[in-house]
Structure 1
Amino acid sequence: MSWHSLGGNGSLILKLYVQPGAKQTEAAGVYGEELKIKLAALPVDGKANRTLTEFLAKRFKVPQKDVTLKRGAQSRHKIVEILRPSSGPEVLFSE
């Protein structure tokens, strides 16, 4: 099983492992069956989750409202749905 899949409505589903408190927000590579994302935010008052959705919205060129945290709000293991992404998951590895 891969860290990404397509949803029934053409959405992109990502399985992520997040590491808050990093120097910069970036995709760090595959971690088991998840994509590891380093976040330049601490997990306080939802800041890490907001940083994650902002990062994904910018990379996939979608409004932030189209990035939904489906599971894992209080966990490092998260499932995120992106509606109508402008490109595939490989965009996470480009600068």
Structure 2
Amino acid sequence: MLDIKEDAGGVSIKIRVQPRAAKNQVSGVMEGALKVRLTAPPVDGAANKACCAFVAELLGVAKGRVAISQGHTGRNKTVRVEGLTAGQVLEKLNY
């Protein structure tokens, strides 16, 4: 089950990132975290930027509404998405 926390302004989603993948894609749920494969390398914040852009595109929100709140230097991240509810996120992710 996907670990999503909702508050008044939006949601926080746990994400596990695999950088340098063949293509950007969601590859399932692992230990409560959405497993995301990204083509970007984990150098100079490239994977973090790609993660935010991919999540924004996946959920249909502007890139400015998505930010990494925890895990800037690791694979396990918490991503904050403004303006959505947990139900909307689950519906868009088909979970």
Q: TM-score, normalised by structure 2?
A: 0.85
| 1:4 alignment counterpart | 4
| One-letter code aligned to 1:88 | V
The CA distance in 2 between the partners of 1:41 and 1:29, in whole Å, is: 19
How many residue pairs match? The answer is 93
Q: Which residues in structure 2 correspond to 1:13-92 (within 5 Å)?
A: 13-85=12-84, 87-92=88-93
- Judge conservation of contact 1:3–1:16 (CA < 8 Å) in 2: no
| One-letter code aligned to 1:92 | L
Structure 2: segments with no counterpart, 5+ residues? none
| Structure 1 residue 35, shift from structure 2 partner | 1.3
| One-letter code aligned to 2:72 | A
Structure 1: segments with no counterpart, 5+ residues? none
The CA distance in 1 between the partners of 2:90 and 2:44, in whole Å, is: 28
Q: Percent identity?
A: 32
Instruction: Give the secondary structure class of the aligned counterpart of 1:30.
Output: strand
| One-letter code aligned to 2:42 | P
Instruction: Give the secondary structure class of the aligned counterpart of 1:55.
Output: helix
